[in-house]
Amino acid sequence: MGKRTFYFVRHGKTEWNLARRMQGWGDSPLITEGIEGAIATGEALRDVDFAAVYSSPSKRTIDTTGYILGDRDLEVKTLDGLREMSFGIWEGELFVDILKNYGVEYEMMLGNPAHYKAEVSKGETYHQVKERTKQAVEQILDEQPEGNILVVSHGMALRILIFVALEGADLQSHREETPHLLNTGITVVEYEDGEFRVMKANDISHLEGIAEGV
C-alpha cells in the first residue's frame, strides 16, 4: 500500500445555504455562485491526477463533483457514509426559526457536541457522524491502494471527519478549535504508514472574485 492523498471539497453554495436554511440529508440546487466555485475548484485541481473520485449521494455534491471534473472521464462513486449530518425535523427550516422554537437543543448542538443527543430533532449525533464518515474513509482506503483521491462531501460531515475522526481533535471542542469549512474550499489530507496528516485546510485562494461560502 502506497501513500494516499485526499482532496476533500465541500459542495458549492446552494439555495438553502443562501436562505440560511438547515440543510443535511435534505437538498437544494446549487446557485450560480456555487457552480462558479465548483468550476474554479476544478481549475485549481486541474493538474492533480486523480486515481478515484467519491461523493456523497446528495445531488448538490454530485453536481459539484461534475463541475469539478469537467471533461475528465472518471467514475464517481457515491458513499452514504459521506452524507451530511442529518438534522431530522429541522431540515429545510430557517436557522432563526430553529433557534426560536428549539433553542435549548439547537444551542446544545452548536456548543456541546459530545453530549448532543438529537432527541428533539430526531437527527444524528456527532458520534454517529464521526463513525460513519470514518468507515467511509476506511472503505476508500481498502479500495484505493495509492494515489490522489477526490472526495466531495459536506461542511459539518467533513469537519467531523477530517479533524476529529482522522486528525484526533477533541469532539467536544472541535467547533472552536478547527476551521469552518467553506463552500468549495479544499482540504488536503495525506495518509501514509497508518497516519493521517492535514497538509492544507479550507483553502479558498482559488475562489478570489467569487463571493465567500457560508
Question: What's the CA gap between 93 and 58, in Å, rounded?
Answer: 18
Contact between 55 and 136 (Cβ < 8 Å): no
* Active-site choice (11, 154, 174, 206): 11
Supply the pLDDT for residue 211.
Answer: 62
Cell triple for residue 191? 495518509
Supply the pLDDT for residue 59.
Answer: 98
Question: What's the CA gap between 155 and 29, in Å, rounded?
Answer: 16
Question: What's the CA gap between 181 and 201, in Å, rounded?
Answer: 8
For the chain, give the mean pLDDT.
96
Over residues 42-57, the mean pLDDT reads 98
Query: Residue 113 pLDDT > 50, yes or no?
Result: yes
To the query of whether residue 131 is one of the catalytic residues in this protein, the response is no
* Active-site choice (33, 36, 84, 105): 84
- Helices 59-69 and 32-44: crossing angle in degrees, nearest 10, is 40
Kindly list the structural domains of the chain, giving each domain's residue range(s) and its CATH number in brackets, ordered by start: 4-85+125-207 (3.40.50.1240)
* Percent of the chain scoring above 90 in pLDDT: 96
133 is in an annotated binding site: no
Cell triple for residue 16? 438553502
Query: Residue 120 pLDDT > 60, yes or no?
Result: yes
To the query of whether residue 127 is one of the catalytic residues in this protein, the response is no
Q: In Å, what is the CA distance from 62 to each residue of 30, 88, 115, 120?
A: 11, 22, 32, 30
14 is in an annotated binding site: yes
Query: Residue 64 pLDDT > 70, yes or no?
Result: yes
pLDDT band at 150 (very low <50, low <70, confident <90, very high): very high
Supply the pLDDT for residue 213.
Answer: 44
Express the helix, strand and coil content of the chain in percent, nearest 5 each. Answer: 45, 20, 35
How far is CA 176 from its chain centroid? Answer: 17
Query: Residue 82 pLDDT > 50, yes or no?
Result: yes
Full 3-state SS string of 50-82? EEEEEECCCHHHHHHHHHHHCCCCCCEEECHHH
Pick from 169, 155, 199: which is nearest to 9 by CA?
155
The DSSP code for 162 is I
Query: Residue 214 pLDDT > 90, yes or no?
Result: no
Over residues 38-64, the mean pLDDT reads 98
pLDDT band at 210 (very low <50, low <70, confident <90, very high): confident
Q: Return all residues near 36 (Cβ < 8 A) that are at least 6 apart.
A: 12, 210
212 is in an annotated binding site: no
pLDDT band at 143 (very low <50, low <70, confident <90, very high): very high
60 is in an annotated binding site: yes
90 is in an annotated binding site: no
Supply the pLDDT for residue 115.
Answer: 96
